[in-house]
Amino acid sequence: MSQDSNTHFGFSQVPVEQKQAKVGAVFDSVARRYDAMNDLMSFGVHRMWKRFTIAKSGVRKGYSVLDIAGGTGDLSRKFADIVGPEGRVVLADINASMLEVGRTRMLNEGYAAPLEYVQANAEKLPFPEDSFDCVSIAFGLRNVTDKDAALAEMCRVLKPGGRLLVLEFSKPQNPLLAKMYDAYSFKALPMMGKLVAQDSDSYKYLAESIRMHPDQETMLGMLQTAGLSLCKYYNLSDGIVALHTGIKA
């Protein structure tokens, strides 16, 4: 991606080199209230989506797992329970505020080994190739500037036979639900953000970023282009969210 080109920030166009900072400002703003807003916005259903992701991960005791854009640690905590002290779970996030919230939360809940915390850009992961049995990214890929580069990096750091999990908002399959979802996203979410997080603009961006994210079939092709095989996706809540998976050959 050319450094003098533009990319989307929600529905707006911004220079490529500015998007990372703008996304960072959004998550600096929402970090402290991120968990409460997730429960409120999804009516708690995000927990079911994440449980489904864990169930499809194939992670076992002793595995090494990289949780990219791991934020406040929902997936990392579950992975840590599964892999045990013999395993390794790296909670990675590009945003220092989100990473600190996640680290504090995990320590307060008594989690130590096998957890590690790394501030990392998904487009340039600071890990050797063939490092992890599983790589996950939940509700983070849509915020990445160069998604193809990030997916290629995720594939690079997977071990042969390792699995990538991409949990992300996608395209509802029912047209009536899609209309209701649009109304909720663009009217209710910013209002909730203003009332709960004192920040309506960040939640307006989050709603817009969902609409700019590739649909299910496009994402499937992107995983295949990144070098993954046996790629598939599962529509959750009629496609409001989709889990994409792929295996490194």
State how far the Cα of 182 lies from the Cα of 157, in Å rounded to an integer: 36
Q: Are 56 and 245 in contact (CB under 8 A)?
A: yes
- Binding site residues for S-adenosyl-L-methionine, as ranges? 72, 93, 121-122
Number of helices and strands in the chain (H, E): 10, 9
State how far the Cα of 30 lies from the Cα of 72, in Å rounded to an integer: 11
- What angle do the packed helices 34-42 and 96-108 form, to 10 degrees? 90
215 HSE (CA, 13 A, CB side): 5
- Binding site residues, as ranges? 72, 93, 121-122
**Element housing 61 (H / E):** none
